[in-house]
Amino acid sequence: MADNNKNPHECPDTGHEWDGIRELTNPPPRWWTIALYLSGLLVLVYFILYPSLPLVTGNTKGILGWTQIKEYKEDLAKIEEKRAPFEDRIAAMTAEEILEDDELLRYAVGSSKVLYGDNCAACHGVGGYPQPGSGYPILANDDWLYGGTVSKIIETLAKGRQGMMPAHANLLTEEEVDGLVEFVVNSANGEATDAQWKLYNEKGCVACHGADAKGIQQLGSANLADKVWRFSGEPDEIRHTILHGVNDANDPLTRVAVMPAWNERLAVRLEAEEFGDDPEDYYDGTETERLSENEIKKLAIYVHQLGGGE
């Protein structure tokens, strides 16, 4: 109507009227018409330049040859180019040496946040704090089943862990189970009695958990003398663990606690180097590498820096 200033009562109409409202035949504003034609032209230009129309076996490619995957790979290549000097240095240095290099330490921790989120957080939680009672170890404290040095963390990541506690349902009387439950509760509070210590030793618990009940890192056995609970500190839950064990294949009610290996090839190499042997003599070609050695090294440093590293 911007182009027609005549009295609306004198404008031609379509002959339609609703509730006293006439449908006029005035054209739309010229600017609107121009914009409509330009938008159609823009669509045509887009169809020519970019992938657009689906076909039976694919789609039109566009004269620019642009794709989202291509753009992603180009951007990724730029990022990897910037990271390359740091990654090369990490590959050439030990984890202990990286911890002493402030610049490289910051890079390792920063670039590991996504690695941790993608591969570790589902079990160990954000910031190393899993859900209480989930059975996954806390990574942000000083309680380590196998040791918390950065080299030991690398070993844990590479080879995985699967500790084992046998089920005692058929080995202990109900009274003995009750006594051991009380021992674990009291030991965590530093209040275990002489009688409870005697029961602990007589029933063989000392063989795995140590003379001081603080666990043996070589075995990955739990520290019973602190208040850090792998599963739960409730008496009924402690009783369940004693009765059914952990990873006991003979007990269907056993607790399952398995950490997968993230780089079996690295694990084999570390084992060979420990004995001064050639790693090539140990490889059988079936070793998996879910994470690269550099990624394992950076994740170990990240976990070490969460606050629980030794």
Per the CB < 8 A criterion, the answer to whether 138 and 308 are in contact is: yes
User: Nearest to residue 225, comparing CAs of 216, 254, 272, 66?
Assistant: 216
Task: Specify whether 50 is located in the same domain as 102.
Answer: no
Q: Distance between CA atoms of 257 and 52, rounded to whole angstroms? A: 50
CATH code: domain of residue 198: 1.10.760.10
3 state SS for 165-234: ECCCCCCCCHHHHHHHHHHHHHHHCCCCCHHHHHHHHHCCCHHHHCCCCCCCCCCCCCCCCCCCCCCCCC
Residue 48 pLDDT: 94
Share of the chain above pLDDT 70, in %: 96
User: Which segments of the chain does DSSP mark as H helices, in order?
Assistant: 30-49, 68-92, 95-99, 102-119, 121-124, 150-159, 174-188, 194-202, 206-209, 235-244, 264-274, 293-303
11 is in an annotated binding site: no
Residue 128 lies in a domain: yes
Examine the domain organization and report whether 195 and 149 are in the same domain. no
Give φ, ψ of 242 to 5 degrees.
-65, -45
User: Is 174 a residue whose pLDDT tops 50?
Assistant: yes
Mean predicted confidence (pLDDT) in 174-195 = 96
209 belongs to an annotated ligand binding site: yes
Burial class (CB in 10 A: 0-12, 13-18, 19+), 9: exposed
pLDDT at residue 274 in the model: 87
Indicate whether 91 and 155 sit together in one domain: yes
Q: Is residue 218 part of a domain?
A: yes
Task: Please check whether residues 110 and 153 belong to one and the same domain.
Answer: yes
Q: Examine the fold and report which residue of 17, 42, 65 is the final residue of a domain before the chain moves on.
A: 65
Q: Is the dihedral of CA 90, 149, 185, 175 positive or negative?
A: positive
Q: How many CB atoms neighbour CB 308 within 10 A? A: 18
Q: Is residue 169 part of a domain?
A: no
In angstroms, the CA 286 to CA 158 distance is 15
Q: Per residue in 201-255, pLDDT tens? A: 999 999 999 999 999 999 999 999 998 888 889 999 999 999 999 999 999 999 9
| Shared domain check, 179 and 146 | no
pLDDT tier, 1 (very low <50, low <70, confident <90, very high otherwise): very low
pTM of the model: 0.78
Residues 180 and 156 in one domain: no
User: What local confidence, expressed as pLDDT, does residue 255 receive?
Assistant: 95
- Our measurement of the distance from residue 25's CA atom to the centroid of its chain's CA atoms, rounded to an integer in Å, reads 65
Residue numbers of the domain that contains 195: 174-244
Q: Which of 36, 65, 94 is the last residue of a domain?
A: 65
CA distances from residue 11 to 4, 6, 19, 25, 106 in whole angstroms, order as listed: 9, 7, 18, 8, 75
**pLDDT of res. 22:** 85
- Say if residue 187 is in the same domain as residue 38: no
Let me know whether 149 and 87 are in one domain.
yes
Pairing of strands 21-24, 13-18: antiparallel
Distance in angstroms (rounded) separating the CA atoms of residues 299 and 125: 14
What's 15's DSSP letter?
E
CA–CA separation, 134 and 119 (whole Å): 17
Q: Which of 193, 215, 244 is the last residue of a domain?
A: 244
Residue 271 lies in a domain: no
Is residue 281, in this structure, part of any structural domain at all? no
Mean pLDDT over all residues of the chain?
A: 92
The answer to whether 208 is a known ligand-binding residue is yes
What are the CA-CA distances from residue 117 to residues 72, 98, 112 (Å)? Answer: 21, 22, 8
Tens digit of pLDDT for each residue in 28-42?
A: 889 999 999 999 999
Residues 14 and 56 in one domain: yes
Phi, psi (rounded to 5 degrees) for 209: -95, -5
181 located within any domain: yes
Asked if residue 268 is part of any domain, the answer here is: no
Counted domains in the chain: 3
* 16 is annotated as contributing to ligand binding: no
